[in-house]
Amino acid sequence: MTKEKFIGIITQLKAAEELQHKVAVAVRQYNNLIHCDYPDPYGLVVSHGFLVTDLLSEIMNDDDRYIELFCYELDFGRKYYSGCITEDDGTEIDISDAEKLWDYLNKNKTKDKE
């Protein structure tokens, strides 16, 4: 997988998550006006985010699940702050954007082969 393809997939995944959030907000806002038994905003926007992150993790040999961490816990890097993720020796892991995540994962692939 190329760096450009990886970043493109992460960017599309981020856009899908943002759309899901907007739909959820709209459904909650108009919940009293929607007359149905179970308004499910996530059913309106189909996204397979966890499937995508799982596949990317497999392709990128991301056994530590940094892709999932970046996407969901760090909200695609928006919640990243310096020092929030470190190596065992205390060295900072900068995955503040998709490009840095790619670089980190590929650096570790190279290191594992040595």
pTM summary value: 0.73
DSSP state of 72: I
Reply yes or no on whether the pLDDT at 37 is more than 80.
no
At 25 the pLDDT is 78
Question: pLDDT for 8-22, tens place per residue?
Answer: 999 988 988 888 788
Joined tokens for residue 85? 């993720």
Q: What is the span of the domain harbouring residue 61?
A: 3-113
Question: pLDDT tens, 40-76?
Answer: 555 555 567 778 888 999 999 999 999 999 999 999 9
Strands, E, within the chain: which ranges? none
pLDDT over 80 at 6, yes or no? yes
CB 41 within 8 A of CB 20: yes
Q: What is the DSSP letter of 71?
A: I
